[in-house]
Every structure is written in structure tokens, then in C-alpha cells.
Structure 1
Amino acid sequence: MDFSFVDAPLDRAEHLRTDSDALARLWPEARVLVLDARGDAGVDAQGMPPALDGTAVGMRPASAVFLGLHADQGWFALPANDAPTTLDIPATIDLRSAAAQWPVREATAFAQARAVLHWRDRHRFCGACGAPLEYARAGWLGRCTGCGIEHYPRTDPAVIVAVTDGARLLLGRQAAWPEGRYSTLAGFVEPGETLEQTVMREVFEESAIRVTGCRYLASQPWPFPASLMLGFTAQAQPDAPQVNDELEDARWFEAQDIGLALRDAHPWLKLSPKSSISRWLISAWHAAQA
């Protein structure tokens, strides 16, 4: 796929999460990604992921999360607070920037690490009784020390939709975005709702456009902080867009305008970053028009 966080994934090797001996054998030569409290990763002087292994870190901290394997090498994520102060990590990088600069495998592993460490950081206590959690399965299971309930990493499904009336593409913008930035419409799935129902509801809520049909295309992990973006294309009535407090503006764009924006040649329209599934959906729609 021509967007980030999906290609060259690690073999998650789920069967090793309960094998403490195997994890101990992997640790000395393991690749270690160190993330700070903001979810940014440590980099070397060139802004690239440092060649940091378990030997450099020392004894494996209990907070280290096993991410998986690549060519029999273990990969782990480690909170910066638990990394030894002797480590040489001169700077950090955010995930969006890493997606544009890092090798694909490292960027995909960074996304995985960011999501699971964010869950760990935000779920330290049981939501049922309030007792502290103890983590097992190499960081992928939180077990309540009080009532024994098991907690697993949470992923929030959301749809993201390229809406067309047959000749035009519907895009919207939020007030906080850079000037001229427009993107495909998106929203979270509600309890008891199908993905198709979410597409229809979210598009209508945000733009008053009536969707008549939709089709799933692809998905993208989006750990900001813990979403899975489910990409759709949708057919809709050529209604005039009307926005509420969710969007600052929504409008139909002709294929010519989209083509110019994809080439960064439009006088004012700016599209979603190339790392996002939104940009891929827009490109796919434009290619179909051509």
C-alpha cells in the first residue's frame, strides 16, 4: 500500500509472549525502540533509529514490550523512563516525521510500539475495581491485582471515506488544520453499528450529504493514539454540503483541482499527508476518474 504503517510488519510471534526463556535469549541482540512519554522515538545524530540492542540497554526492564521478530531478531519497545541514563539518545522524532524519513520496517514497528505503550501508560489501573494492573504476555496483557479481570490493548475502529457524486470528490477541513488543507471525511464506529451504517451516519452528520452505497478498500493503523482507519469509497447524492461544529468547511472538488493538488500545483488546496490512507483514497479516486 502507498501509505504508512502497513508494509514490512514484524512477525508478532504471539507464541513467544509467554516463553520467558525464549525472550531472554532474544534480548541481548534484540532491536530496541525507546519512546518517551509523548510517544516520540529516540534517534541518532542523523535522525534515524539508532542501532540499539539489548546489550546496550542492560538487563531487560519489566516494562519492555515484545513487538515481534524479523529474521529471528527480536524487537522490543521500551519507555524512555525505564531506559538507563547511559544510553546515547541525542534527540527524538515524532511518528509522522518518521513515516517520511525512516525505513519502512522501522516506521511500521514504531507505530506498533507507540500504540501499545500508549495503552500501557493510560491503563495502569483496573476500570472495574481500581486496583493496579500487573502486565504479562510480554506487555500485551494487563491483569488486575484485585479482581483478576484481564485487560488487553484497545483499538478504536474508524471509517474514512472518499465520497463522490460520480464526477466530484467531497472533502472537508477542520478549523485547526493548516490553511487550505482538506481531507476525506472520517469518524468513529459507534457500539452496535455496522461499518456501512457508520459511513452513512458520519458523512451525513459532518456534511449533510446522503450516501447511497459504499465499498471497503483498505485499512491503516493510526496510533494517534489508538485507531484503525477503515478506508471506504462511497457514492452519494449531489447535495450541497452543510457543516456543523465538527468541520469548518466541506465542499465538492472537480477532478482537475484534485489532480493539481496531488502534484502540489494547486494555488491553495492542500491534501492530506502522503503517509495517510486519506491521501491514498484521494489518489485512487482521481486515478479512476482518469
Structure 2
Amino acid sequence: MKNAEAVTFGGSGLERAAHLRGDVNELAKMRADPNAKAIVFWRGKPLIRRGDWDVLARLPMSHSLLAPRAEQSVFLGLEDHGPTFAHDISDWEPEGVDPSLMNTFLDPTEQQHPEFPETDVFAELRANMTRFTPRDAELAVSARALYSWHESHQFCSKCGAKSEMAMAGWQRDCATCDGKHFPRTDPVVIMLITHGNSVLMGRSPGWPEGMYSLLAGFVEPGETLEAAVRREVFEESGIKVGHVDYLASQPWPFPNSLMFGCRGEALNTGITIDPVEIEDAIWVSREDMMLAFAGENPKILPARKGAIAHFILERWLSDRLD
């Protein structure tokens, strides 16, 4: 697909400087660099600076709250100003937090740390992802995915002992068995399945009323992307798929996926859903989808803006898939 990198989180060409991750002396110099900056996360939420145009907040590494955590910071790469790191302060306990809203489909709450500028708030990434520049988006998606991985992989998968962060956040090492563990990314196929002038859409339990998106599912071991598309679509909807093409990809740090956008041709139209997998599946005509994107369809809402499903559907509607 032309301009596939235009998808949200599609990358900005960040110089990740992977060769510096294991250089202890160089990392110490970069952390002490007066030009070094840090982005900050709290329980999966990035620190966003509100203004005329929202940006990912960058604080000096010397900030009184961040400096004591310097050894636990994650090195993300080199920007024009110098090195950029990420800090996680999830141990902070703000007042008035409603636990029922945390880690929901779309957490509407924002938190303001008293030691940060009043313009800076922790906010849910999915609700703000389309407001970021490509660089801010790449930094945010990388850091969030890494922190999700560290949170769920604190013990060695070889011997079960506690592992420790290494390589500036890009590895975990086990001192007991010398095991080395690397960030995990789960491949997921998400597919535009069409039949004539219609596209197959589905919804999961718990989604907002009327919201539908493209079908998606995890790629299994020993499986190609094409085979995963055919299997997942048939399992979820009973639709058999013929030819399959790859379109575009998107890092999706909720928590650690890489979405492979594909398109396929349906060989039948009779839908039989698997209620364990999805709540509903329907065929939507191009005309009805255009109304949904315009906010004028009374029955369905479009896929979330910023998600690769929205990106693919938008290009399908405008005949820009090739």
C-alpha cells in the first residue's frame, strides 16, 4: 500500500542507537547530559503537555522526581536536542483515582502530578494518539510497549527466578541461570474482507454501542499471515477467504502487538459467528460505511480513528488500497 507508514505509530525515523544500550559508561554520560530529556509514564499513560497543540511532555533528566530513578530509565534514542529516555512512576498514588476506570476500553480520566507543570497530565494513549506528531507517537508507542513487557515478564521463563532490567530497558537478565530475555511482540492479523461492494465487520463484547471494526486475531506458531487471515475469519464468522494480500502494519502497544493489515476476498456470504470470539458480525455496504465515517449512520460507528482498521477502511472507501 502506498504511504503505508502514514498509519498512526507508523514511525518517524528515530535514531534508536541500539549500539549504545549495552555501553554502561556512555549511558551514564547521556543520563547526565544537561540536554537529555525524559518522557514519563504512569500506569500505561504518557505525560501529555496540553496547549494549543498537545505534545508528549519532555522533562529534564535532572528533574528532582526523575534523577533518583536514572538507573531504571529506558533509553529510547537520540533526538536533535540529545538523548531521550523514558521514566515510569507507576508507584505514585494520586488522590481520587477511580480504579474501575483504569485500563478500561477508554479511560477518560487524567492525573496531574504536583511536581510537574500544571499543563502536564497523564492521559490514556488511545484517546490522544491522533494528536501526536510521528516522533511523539513513536516514542510513546515504544515506551508503553516496553513497560507493558517488563510488567508481565519480571521472572525468568527458564528457571522462574526474578529477572532484572538490562541493556537500558531492552532486555531482562536472570542472574540465577544466566537467561537472557528480549521484548515480546505478538503478531496479529487484521483484515479487510470484501464481497462485491461490502466489507465484513465485527464487534467484541464490551465495545461502545454501535461500534464495529475489521476482524482480527493472533497469528499462531507455524502459521503464515495468509493462513492466519483465513483461519481467524472462518473461526469468527464462518466466512471462507480466498486470495489474501498484505497492506500495512502498525505497532499496537495494548499491550504488545504488531498489527498486520491484510485484505482478502470472501468466497461466501452466510455468517455464522463464534459467540466466544465476537458478539456480532455483519456485511456493510460501501455506501453505509461512508455514512458511518461521516457520522450519519444511525446503526454503526466507524472504527476508532488512529487504529489501523480506520486507516484501511478509509483507503478502501477512497480506492487507495494499491
TM-score range, shorter-chain basis?
A: over 0.9
> Which of 44, 49, 65 is the equivalent residue of 1:39?
44
Offset at residue 260 of structure 1 (A): 1.3
**What SS does the corresponding residue of 1:158 show, helix, strand or coil?**
strand
The question of whether the paired residues in 1 share the 8 Å contact of 2:39 and 2:58 is answered with no
TM-score calculated relative to the size of structure 1 = 0.92
The question of whether the paired residues in 2 share the 8 Å contact of 1:157 and 1:229 is answered with yes
Distance 1:92 1:176, change over 3 A: same
Q: What residue number does 1:261 align with?
A: 292
Q: Deviations over 1:248-277 (max 9, x none)?
A: 111111111111112222222211111010
Unmatched segments (≥5 aa) in structure 1: none
1:61-100 map, 5 Å: 61-71=70-80, 73-81=82-90, 87-88=115-116, 91-100=121-130
The question of whether the paired residues in 1 share the 8 Å contact of 2:69 and 2:87 is answered with no
Q: In structure 2, what residue type is equivalent to 1:35?
A: F
Offset at residue 20 of structure 1 (A): 2.3
Offset at residue 48 of structure 1 (A): 4.1
Higher deviation after alignment, 6-15 or 168-177: 6-15
Offset at residue 138 of structure 1 (A): 0.9
In 2, distance between residues paired with 1:289 and 1:128? 47
Aligned: 1:21 with 2:30: no
Q: In structure 2, what residue type is equivalent to 1:105?
A: R
The question of whether the paired residues in 2 share the 8 Å contact of 1:133 and 1:143 is answered with yes
**What SS does the corresponding residue of 2:70 show, helix, strand or coil?**
coil
> Which of 145, 150, 174 is the equivalent residue of 1:120?
150
In 1, distance between residues paired with 2:55 and 2:318? 34
**What SS does the corresponding residue of 1:61 show, helix, strand or coil?**
helix
Offset at residue 31 of structure 1 (A): 2.1
1:120-199 map, 5 Å: 120-199=150-229
Offset at residue 156 of structure 1 (A): 0.3
Identity of aligned residues (%): 39
The question of whether the paired residues in 2 share the 8 Å contact of 1:190 and 1:198 is answered with yes
In 2, distance between residues paired with 1:288 and 1:45? 36
Higher deviation after alignment, 208-217 or 243-252: 243-252
The question of whether the paired residues in 2 share the 8 Å contact of 1:61 and 1:82 is answered with no
| RMSD (Å) for aligned C-alpha atoms | 2.1
Offset at residue 81 of structure 1 (A): 4.5
Q: Deviations over 1:226-250 (max 9, x none)?
A: 0000000101113211111211111
**What SS does the corresponding residue of 2:310 show, helix, strand or coil?**
helix
Offset at residue 181 of structure 1 (A): 0.7
Q: In structure 1, what residue type is equivalent to 2:310?
A: R
Unmatched segments (≥5 aa) in structure 2: 93-112
Offset at residue 89 of structure 1 (A): 5.8
Higher deviation after alignment, 17-26 or 205-214: 17-26
The question of whether the paired residues in 2 share the 8 Å contact of 1:54 and 1:60 is answered with no
Q: What residue number does 1:233 align with?
A: 263
Distance 1:81 1:165, change over 3 A: closer
Offset at residue 289 of structure 1 (A): 9.0
Q: What residue number does 2:14 align with?
A: 10
Offset at residue 11 of structure 1 (A): 1.5
Q: What residue number does 2:56 align with?
A: 49
